[in-house]
Structure 1
Amino acid sequence: MRRLNQALVALAICALVSSCGLTASNAIMKVQRGMSQEEVSQLLGSPDFRRFDNGSEQWEYTTAANKVIIIDFIDGMVTNMDSFKAIVTPPPVAVCPPNEIITVAPPSQPDHSGPHRPRHKAMNPLDFENLYKKVRSKAFKDDQLELLSVGVVNNYFTCKQTARLMSIFTWDDEKMKVLRMVSDRIVDRENGNEIVKTLDSLFKQDDARKILGIKDRW
């Protein structure tokens, strides 16, 4: 009888592990456009993070394998889902002696406006895709801009990549903030029209041309 009870406990544990594996790997594929929040909860459980703005709502899940799942709802119904591998950044390590204050002067901005500006290698497609998805996953514009300001440090971009980052935002003023943030790190300004055409306002287009050093409209 004791052996039978042990076998039943082992079987229950196996079933529990199997059900967890289903949630992590297969349940995501069952999320469909038009599902209700209750149906998503039955598949994935309660979200780790929840955001809402006006009539839209966003749920965020993080799996044990560091996969991030973003689900958007409008009026309680699924309208969009995105999943990607989270970028885990190790915490900085302090190396300064105790009680010692070190003042670090900010680096001077490199001059990229002249014909002999240095050439840098643009961000590789995989790292750029991770940055793009992380910025896009934020629910609020201020959070998106703040995350992007961190992501551009020590990275360089093509005009096409810059235009794609700008496309995350709806209004020209927000797009121009992105352009000013990235402008000193664009490696192929000769393709600047890729950026200009993302803007609707003719005035903003002219401002973008000035930033990129494009003299003529055509």
Structure 2
Amino acid sequence: MKKYALALVALVLTFLSSCGGVGKRQSAVNQLERGMTKDQVTALLGAPRNKSVQEDGSETWDFSYMDLLDRHLRVSVTFFNDRVTKYDSHRTDHDHRDNQSPVIVTTPPAIPPQGHIPPATRGRGYIDSRVYEEEARAFELFLEDVRRIPFDDERIGFICSVARRSLFTVEQASRLIAPFRWDEQRLTILEALTPRLRDGYNAFRLIDLFSYGSGKERARQILEANPPIPWDYDPRSMGQMEEQESFEDFVRAVERQTWDKDKINYIRDAAQRNSFTVQQVIRLLKLFTWDNERLPVLEAVAPRIRDGFNTYKLIEYFDFQDAKQKARRILGLTE
């Protein structure tokens, strides 16, 4: 009998050890961070129970743990481009002694997706229910275009030119800087992005991207020379258009104008109190036939574009090289 009891104890201990215990797994969950790789997550949590892939390319891993005390822990981790963008955990502890209600422990919400700032600070502008998601995807598309450029010098030049007409979060800046191997390359990009950081009070985190003391010191000097942009300043979103007027309503109002000159003036007036996405600007440019009509439209809305890192895509909507060059100057893509 004693031999069986010892075997049973050994079996229980083996089971608890294999499960790791919910408490031990919760400690591992607490070490999760946004930006981790899949290998790092696997090292912490083991293999997922389920995997799912969404249409936007993001992938979600689901983990589930249970121990002999009937404690349950469920974890969901979302990856984009093989990096953690979001994670949640749900833990339930059942206390059979007094039948108390389950205790639910949830990790703090992740930082909002890239490209987002709190709605209260955004102003009005032509924002519909899809804009927040579109802006998050817009940066990912820009990042893909950066990655497709074969040479480092060209990639750096592209990032610096786009930075003149956009704002970035510290996380976005980190994702642009980190792939480069040398501190000198990273410093060049940091210098271009720092004046355009929307959450500059977090910029000190970028110092850790530099390998050597001299690089870290130069990065610190660049950041100190550029005070953070106040939250109430954002050239994309200072508009005051009535909320009930959607962008589609605005386009129909432009189309009702009789002459092209009147359409251009109508857009100019709206641009004084609104902001636009690149896709919305494309819609406006397509309302006109000739480059000499599109250029004044672009000039009116260019300072009001929200996703400035995609403005280079507007160049293709002009027919002639002279107009394309003028469009680049309007967008700040050339000196």
TM-score, reference length from structure 2: 0.28
Tell which has more relative contact order, 1 or 2 (C-alpha 8 A, sep 6+).
2
User: Normalising to structure 1: TM-score of the pair?
Assistant: 0.42
